[in-house]
Amino acid sequence: MSRIGKKPVALPDGVTANIAEGVLSVKGPKGELSLQMAEEVTFELGEGQVKVDPVNDSKKARSYWGMQRTLVQNLVDGVTEGFSKTLEISGVGFRAQVQGKTLKLQLGFSHDVDFAIPEGIDIKTPDQTTVEISGIDKQKVGQVAAEIRRWRKPEPYKGKGIKYRGEYVFRKEGKKK
């Protein structure tokens, strides 16, 4: 029995859900998101909630149950509040700035890294060493943050690089004489 899956997803005021042709779409104040429904689970729209149940008692259906319920919850959270991730850049001369639809990163390479901001994602740089990524799709926000971080992961000796806010970088001791 899935502890996550058996809880219904509550739809707050101003959020509507609709099921059509195997697609669950959720519309709210920040926009609209949709999810391709898995065949292993069924979705029921009730008064102000979406209930997810497995089709049968197979292992595959039970494993999809909690995941699909979490994906529906992410849709509802995205259209109401949205999601955000913050990256911190540390290193001498490392900086970032937004220019139109491009994030320009200076990360110690011989050239600047130009990252094209995808549709549906908003990137802000409150200062030169902080990058705030926000949007309504949790997967897309996380993917963009991972792609930016991939350019210069934090290294263990000095801690230089791009890290998530709150991430712990395991530090190593340097050479001894």
CB 43 within 8 A of CB 18: no
Residues 143, 86: Cα–Cα separation, whole Å: 13
What percent of the chain clears pLDDT 90, i.e. is strictly above it? Answer: 82
Residues 24, 33: Cα–Cα separation, whole Å: 9
> What's 147-174 look like in SS3?
HHHCCCCCCCCCCCEEEECCCCCCCCCC
- Average pLDDT of the chain? 93
H or E stretch at 149:
helix 138-149
Among 131, 121, 134, smallest CA distance to 98 is for 131
Residues 6, 47: Cα–Cα separation, whole Å: 17
pLDDT score for 49:
92
pLDDT tens-digit readout, 72-129: 999 999 999 999 999 999 999 999 999 999 999 999 999 999 999 999 999 999 999 9
Residues 29, 13: Cα–Cα separation, whole Å: 10
pTM above 0.75, yes or no: yes
Residue corresponding to tokens 């309504």: 136
Longest dimension (CA), the chain: 71
Domains recognised in the chain with CATH numbers? 9-80 (3.90.930.12), 83-164 (3.90.930.12)
